[in-house]
Copies of this chain bind each other. A is one copy, B any other.
Amino acid sequence: MSDLRDDLRTEAEALDAADELAAKRKEFVLDETVYLDGNSLGALPANVPGRLAEVMTHEWGKLRIRSWDESGWWTAPERIGDRIAPLVGAAPGQIVVGDSTSVNVFKALVAAVRIARDAEGTGGPGGTGSSDNPSGGRDEIVVDATTFPTDGYIAESAARLTGCRLVPVAPGDVPGVLGDRTAAVLLNHADYRTGRLHDLPGLTAAIHAAGALAVWDLCHTAGALPVGLDEHGVDLAVGCTYKYLNGGPGAPAYIYVRESLQSRFDSPLPGWNSHAEPFGMRPEFEAADGALRGRVGTPDILSMLALEASLDAWEGVSVDTVRAKSLALTDFFLRCVEAYVPAGRVESLTPAAHAERGSQVALRCDDAGDVMRRLVEQGVVGDFRAPDVLRFGFTPLYVSFGDAERAARVLARTLA
């Protein structure tokens, strides 16, 4: 065992020495902790405090109201959206940042149902004042039954308000329930519990073949692996920015609206920021052109500009490189766990096949809550998902192979 440990430690050192992202680690505030919870809250990028101090003291403190124009506050949602775009395979002009993921799921789903109905001619003109509850036509929203729960709760509300029926199924069963009643399908790109990656290209194609719209939640994949929104023809997508994008606690989420759908994107939250002429203060709503339709109210500037600064870490980074390191990290961690942990003590819920794996490893054991508590006490931070899952997230920008080996070692000692 001690020989094996020496071998794996040596291997970790060699992998870290060869890691082309290794230098990125210095751009984050890290300490002796092995931080494997970046899939819940990304670590602090070192440049954020300085940038936000400038926003507070200069932009808010001195320029005050003038900063809406002079400091570019007003256009931050679309400007930051365009910086996230290449990380999820989107051309510019299709993403705006703002609101929470839950609120964006709501916008996306209601808008998707309206577009699907307009295409069928069953939804009326789709303009202001038309009913959202036509009889017949596309009246089903299919939702990933294994998804992070908020998506299901919001989907239920969207269904209720648009007169649809909610159809919860496991992602693999989606093709079997699609039909001419399906308006929209909401799927999570990766299962938050197991880390399983779902087949975005294949499922999107199946949804389109049924004449429905595909809405993807990218919370657990954006910043960890290539998504390819444009390439795979995804209709709408949402995601948070506080996991692999390191935007800060509760940082604003984003919504992607495919360019060809923007003119039909009919938001259920048409706030003044999505108006064609926001400062015209006109009583009638007229939607802005483009992705701006996804905006709602006044953008949350402090959180938003912290997010913008955090995205500097992506300069010069290829998502393919990130993906390669992510898979190498999770492979290596699983090997270390297998080598160190007594057989049968934990069960990996994370798929062995690369094509089915996100950037986290989920291990099941009956005493997971207690085990995670003790891991955290020993400086290895993952998280616990009830009732029995240990989650370890691997953020390729700052997690090292040495971290992975140490985490497995401490885990083995804790489980012993």
Contact surface of A with B, Cβ cutoff 8 Å:
29, 31, 33, 35, 37, 40-41, 43-44, 48-49, 52-53, 56-57, 59-62, 64-68, 73, 99-103, 106, 110, 128-133, 145, 148-150, 152-154, 156-157, 159-163, 166, 168, 193, 240, 242, 248-253, 267-273, 275, 279-283, 285, 296-304, 306, 376, 381, 383, 385-386
Contact = CB atoms under 8 A, between A and B. Distances in A.
Contacts of A242: 298
Contact of A149 (B60, B67, B249, B283): B283
A269 B102 contact: yes
Q: How many copies does the complex hold?
A: 2
B52 A153 contact: no
Given A35-B64, A168-B283, A272 B150 contact: yes
A283 to B, nearest CB: 6
A35 B66 CA distance: 11
Contacts of A131: 133, 160, 163
8 contacts: A52-B302, A66-B376, A102-B296, A131-B133, A149-B275, A161-B162, A251-B300, A302-B302
A242 B95 CA distance: 26
B100 A129 contact: no
Contacts of A157: 267-270
A296 B29 contact: no
Given A52-B302, A129-B156, A145-B283, A161 B99 contact: no
A128 B160 contact: yes
B168 A100 contact: no
Nearest to A192: B281
Contacts of A252: 300
Given A64-B43, A283-B149, A301-B250, A269 B106 contact: yes
Contact of A101 (B148, B285, B297): B297
B29 A302 contact: no
Contact of A381 (B48, B65, B161, B267): B65
A267 B157 CA distance: 8
A102 B272 contact: yes
A281 B149 contact: yes
Contact of A302 (B160, B299, B303): B303
Contacts of A298: 100-101, 240, 242, 249-250
Nearest to A98: B100
A65 to B, nearest CB: 5
Contact of A65 (B40, B60, B271, B275): B40
Contacts of A33: 64
A102 B43 CA distance: 31
Contact of A56 (B52, B68, B156): B52
Contact of A57 (B29, B103, B250): B29
Given A52-B52, A128-B160, A149 B296 contact: no
Given A269-B154, A303-B303, A149 B282 contact: yes
A103 B102 contact: no
A102 B297 contact: yes
A291 B376 CA distance: 33
Given A250-B298, A285-B156, A303-B302, A41 B65 contact: yes
Contacts of A268: 106, 157, 161
Contacts of A156: 128-129, 270, 285
Contacts of A240: 298
Nearest to A53: B49
Most chain B beta-carbon contacts within 10 A, residue among A159, A193, A302: A302
